[in-house]
Amino acid sequence: MTKMVIENRIRRLRFDHGEMTQQALAERIGATRQTIIAIEGGKYAPSLELAFRIADAFGVGVDEVFQRKI
């Protein structure tokens, strides 16, 4: 099975939400800033629960935050 590559638009969504800082997003979803950095950089794939919390923080669906790279 080939490894699935998942991209995210967190950086873009933060920009669209008044240049929300990584720290502010981390505090909203109950994670650390380093976890946000890791997710943005594609170094950590969050659980479904954390993915939903990120999506909720931006008021969008999960599919608008995370997409599978084709």
Partner 1 sequence: MGDFMDLEEKVSWGAFLPWILGCGYYLTALVRWNNGGSHWPLGSVLIGMLLVQVVYMIVVAAVSRKEPRDERTRLIEYKGYKVAYLAVEAVLSGWLLWLYLPQHWNEPHKKLPLLLAVWLGVEAIRMGTQLVLYRASVRA
CB 65 within 8 A of CB 57: no
Place of tokens 């109950």: 30
Query: Closest distance between partner 1 and the C-beta of residue 49, in Å?
Result: 8
- Kindly tell me which residue out of 1, 4, 47, 70 binds partner 1, with binding defined by CB under 8 A: 47
**Looking at this protein, which amino acid is placed at residue 57?**
A
Q: Which is nearer to partner 1, 27 or 64 (CB)?
A: 27
Query: How far apart (Å, rounded) are the C-alpha atoms in residues 26 and 45?
Result: 15
CA 30 to chain centre: 13
Q: Which is nearer to partner 1, 30 or 70 (CB)?
A: 30
Q: Summarize as ranges the residues that interact with partner 1 (CB under 8 A).
A: 23, 26, 30-35, 38, 44, 46-47, 49-50
